[in-house]
Amino acid sequence: MLDEYFSEGTVMYRDGVADWEEAVDVVSGPLLDLRKIKPSYVDAIKASIRKPGGTYIDLGQGIAMAHARPEAGVVATSLSVLKVGRPFLLDDSQDHPISTLFCLAAQDSKSHLSLMQSLATFLSDGRNQERLGKATNVEELRAILKEER
């Protein structure tokens, strides 16, 4: 189950954030606290988003997955997620309103296969996309992740 990949405190809900950078800080915060990633990984994510085409982490349907290369500072493969009540604009781009931001820290490009399979299955399900969009608290988010199809 996808839920198992989210450690305590890594599923978050906020009414809103000031901007996309704050969203990245919030979503990566618990992974930093748990020492799953280093501060350099957060910097790399922000730098990647600022680059031309950096908004490619927008998967569609208001869902984005912040990530960077493992060597940028991943200690252990991990996931976190932030749902915001008011969407923010990724890289301040009107084309990229985001309400659910995942943070993916993968130790290498192949070994996180089972995690990615769960995540891909979960995210490509239209019902899950809709439920994520409607969630207004951590309990609801946890329940959606738990009932992953």
Q: Which of 121, 136, 139, 143 binds other proteins (CB under 8 A)?
A: 121
Q: Kindly indicate which of the ranges 9-17, 28-36, 121-129, 134-142 contains the residues binding other proteins, using the contact rule CB under 8 A.
A: 121-129
Site residues for other proteins, 15-74, by CB under 8 A, read 48, 51-61, 63, 65, 67-70
* Whole-Å CA distances, 100 to 49, 64, 65, 76: 16, 6, 8, 22
Say how far residue 69 (Cα) sits from the centre of its chain.
15
Query: Can you tell me the distance from the alpha carbon of 22 to that of 28, in angstroms, rounded to the nearest whole number?
Result: 10
Nearer to other proteins by Cβ, of 47 and 143: the residue is 47
CA distance 6 to 74: 16
Q: Measured from the CB atom, is 15 or 110 closer to other proteins?
A: 110
Tokens of 20: 């996309």
Residue bearing tokens 């991990």:
78
**126 lines the binding site for other proteins (CB under 8 A):** yes
- Note whether 141 and 83 are within 8 A (CB): yes
Convert residues 75-114 into a mask of x (bound to other proteins by CB under 8 A) and - (unbound): -----------------------------x-x-xx--x--
Please give the residue ranges that form the binding site for other proteins (CB under 8 A): 48, 51-61, 63, 65, 67-70, 104, 106, 108-109, 112, 116-117, 119-121, 123-124, 126, 129
